[in-house]
């Protein structure tokens, strides 16, 4: 799909992240917490003490929990999956950190304008039914001078790169096969190219973005 025909809204074609599927996902992604710790550390390095942070679509909450443990930050989470809200809340309690995880839509957030200093969305933006609406909500919720970081898969990811990433995930043989298939098909098919994302960001209230592509993923930096 070319950048000119990128829809404002799209149907989510992945698995519903509720019940057993959410539990399976939490188990698999929880097998290697190093990537979450790494992302939390680079975000924490940009934050001042007392910063208010929102993670959109935190899933099991691993990134938010890692970040909350790195400093005096007020961390919140917003997820469309009620199962993930429950799982993330339980994980935070077990991790000894206080995080307010709420149920809600990224394109219609319950949080007020200019509430957060930093917003992060990891491995979920490609699944949003209203990506343009989600970008507008991020801009609305950020304080002036605030930043947002979207970490997600690139549609340009090769099969070789996907295999290399899955090989580092410490999965059992069956889970590795399933995960590789999910990456190659529904996830990559739903992902955006760098050009598509740049076009969306340019059309959003942010007016543009800085994008870095590496391996199968990309970092999209947005500033208000």
Strands 217-223 and 210-214, by their bridges, are antiparallel
Helix (H, G, I), strand (E, B) or coil at 145: strand
Euclidean distance between CA atoms 121 and 4, whole angstroms: 24
Pairing mode of beta strands 74-79, 52-56: parallel
Q: At residue 95, does pLDDT exceed 70?
A: yes
Split at pLDDT 50, 70, 90, the class of 153 is: confident
DSSP secondary structure string, 164-187?
A: HHHHTS---HHHHHHHHHHIIIII
pLDDT at site 171: 78
From residue 161, give the alpha-carbon distance in Å to each of 19, 112, 152, 176, 214. 30, 40, 14, 14, 10
pTM of the full structure: 0.85
Question: Rounded to whole angstroms, how far apart are CA atoms 10 and 148?
Answer: 22
Residue 100: what pLDDT? 97
User: For residue 66, which phi and psi values (nearest 5 degrees)?
Assistant: -60, -40
Q: What percent of the chain has pLDDT over 90?
A: 65
Predicted local confidence at residue 1, as pLDDT:
36
How far are the Cα atoms of 7, 18, 34 from residue 87, in angstroms, in the given order?
Answer: 32, 10, 19
Partners of residue 79 on adjacent β-strands: 103
Average per-residue pLDDT for the chain: 89
How far is Cα 120 from Cα 114, in angstroms, rounded to an integer? 15
| pLDDT attached to residue 211 | 97
- What is the pLDDT, as a whole number, of residue 15? 56
Domains and CATH numbers, the chain: 3-223 (3.40.50.150)
Neighbours of 210 (CB within 10 A): 11
pLDDT, position 172: 83
Residue 203 has a CB neighbour count (10 Å cut-off) of 15
Q: Is the confidence at residue 2, as pLDDT, over 80?
A: no
pLDDT computed for residue 5 by the predictor: 45
pLDDT number for residue 12? 53
Q: Give the residue, 175 or 192, on which the prediction is more confident.
A: 192
Q: List pLDDT tens digits, range 176-194.
A: 888 888 777 777 888 899 9
Tell me how far apart the alpha carbons of residues 71 and 69 are, in angstroms, rounded to a whole number. Answer: 6
Could you read off the pLDDT of 114-151 as tens digits, one per residue?
999 999 999 999 989 999 999 999 999 999 999 999 99
Q: How far apart are CA 29 and CA 107, in angstroms?
A: 25
Coil, helix or strand at residue 157: coil
pLDDT at 201: 97
pLDDT at 8: 59
Task: With a cut of 60, say whether residue 216 has pLDDT above it.
Answer: yes
What is the C-alpha separation between 114 and 47, in angstroms, rounded? 16
Q: What is the pLDDT of residues 7-60, one digit of tens each?
A: 556 655 455 688 888 887 788 787 788 999 999 999 999 999 999 999 999 999
For residues 75, 129, 224, 38, the Cα torsion angle rounded to the nearest 10 degrees is 50
Is the torsion defined by CA of 135, 109, 24, 11 positive or negative?
Answer: negative
């Amino acid at each position: 799909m070319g950048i000119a025909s990128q829809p404002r809204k799209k149907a989510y074609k992945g698995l519903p992240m509720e019940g057993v599927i959410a539990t399976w996902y939490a188990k698999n992604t929880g097998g290697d917490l190093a990537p979450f710790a790494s992302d939390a550390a680079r975000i924490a390095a940009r934050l001042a003490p007392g910063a208010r942070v929102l993670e959109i679509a935190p899933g099991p909450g691993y990134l938010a929990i890692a970040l909350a443990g790195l400093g005096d930050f007020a961390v919140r989470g917003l997820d469309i999956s009620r199962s993930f809200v429950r799982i993330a809340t339980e994980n935070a309690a077990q991790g000894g950190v206080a995080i307010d995880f709420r149920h809600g839509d990224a394109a219609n957030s319950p949080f007020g304008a200019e509430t957060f200093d930093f917003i992060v969305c990891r491995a979920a933006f490609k699944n949003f039914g209203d990506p343009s609406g989600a970008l507008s909500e991020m801009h609305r919720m950020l304080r002036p001078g605030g930043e947002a970081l979207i970490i997600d898969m690139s549609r340009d990811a090769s099969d070789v790169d996907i295999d290399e990433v899955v090989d580092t995930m410490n999965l059992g043989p069956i889970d590795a096969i399933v995960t590789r298939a999910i990456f190659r098909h529904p996830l990559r098919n739903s992902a955006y190219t760098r050009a598509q994302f740049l076009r969306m960001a340019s059309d959003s209230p942010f007016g543009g973005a800085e994008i870095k592509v590496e391996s199968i993923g990309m970092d999209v930096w947005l500033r208000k």
